[in-house]
Amino acid sequence: MGSLHIRTYPDPLLRKKSRELLQVTDEEKELIGYMVETMYANRGVGLAAPQVGVAKRIIVVDAQTGLLKMINPRMVSAKGMSSLEEGCLSVPGRLVEVRRAEEISVSFMDMDNKESLKSFKGLTAKVIQHEIDHLDGKLILDYLPWYRRLLPKRGDVKCLQ
Ligand code: NI
C-alpha cells in the first residue's frame, strides 16, 4: 500500500458530482485501502474519493469514533447547528468557518455491500458532512462570504496561486 496524490483546488475534478455505486467490488476495496493510507499519511480526519481523482461516492473518516468507511453516504436527518473552523487537504493552508449540523443520521453501504443507518455527533458528524460535500463538488471555500473570496486574508495568498 501507499499514499495517493491528493488533488488540490482548483482541480476541476473536485467540482464534479460523484456517482453512486451499485456494489463494492475488489477494485473499490483496494481504492478504499489506499484512501485510508492516504488520509493517515497526511494526518487527515477524513478523505473523499474525488480528492484522489475518483468520482465515486466513497468516504473514509477517522475523527473520534474510529475508522469509518462509507459508500453512498447520505444524510437522512440532522439536529442542531454550530460553527467550526475547518481545513481541507484539497485546500491547503486555508481555514474556513463552516456552520453544520451537530448530530446527524447517515445511511450508507458498508464494505460487505450491506445498507446501514447510523447516528453521529461531535467532530465525526462534522467531518462526515464535509466529506459528503466533496461528493457533490462542494468545498469549504464555498462557505466564505463573497467579499472574502475576492479579498483573501493576509497569509492566504500563497494558497491561491
Ligand atoms: Ni476536504
Centre of ligand 1 from the C-alpha of residue 77, in Å? 22
Q: How far is residue 97's CA from residue 82's CA, in Å, rounded to a whole number? A: 10
Centre of ligand 1 from the C-alpha of residue 89, in Å? 5
Q: How confident is the model at residue 95 (pLDDT cuts 50, 70, 90)?
A: very high
Q: Is the pLDDT of residue 70 over 70?
A: yes
73 burial via Cβ count (<10 Å: 0-12, 13-18, 19+): buried
DSSP string, the chain: --PPPPP-TT-GGGGSPPBP-SS--HHHHHHHHHHHHHHHHTT-SEEEGGGGT--BSEEEE-SSS--EEEEEEEEEEEEEEEEEEE--TTSTT--EEEEEEEEEEEEEE-TTS-EEEEEEEHHHHHHHHHHHHHHTT--GGGGS-HHHHHSPPTT-GGGG-
> 20, 27, 103, 131: which one is catalytic?
131
Grid look-up 481545513 returns: 87
Grid look-up 466529506 returns: 131
Does 156 or 89 have the greater pLDDT score?
A: 89
Range 105-134 average pLDDT = 97
Q: How far is residue 119's CA from residue 145's CA, in Å, rounded to a whole number? A: 30
Q: How far is residue 158's CA from residue 73's CA, in Å, rounded to a whole number? A: 33
Annotated catalytic residue 37: no
Domain boundaries, the chain: 12-160
CATH number of 12-160: 3.90.45.10
Range 10-16 average pLDDT = 97
State percent of the chain over pLDDT 90: 86
Centre of ligand 1 from the C-alpha of residue 109, in Å? 21
Q: How confident is the model at residue 151 (pLDDT cuts 50, 70, 90)?
A: low
Q: How far is CA 98 from the centre of its chain?
A: 13
Range 60-87 average pLDDT = 96
Segment 51-62, tens digit of pLDDT = 999 999 999 999
Centre of ligand 1 from the C-alpha of residue 129, in Å? 10
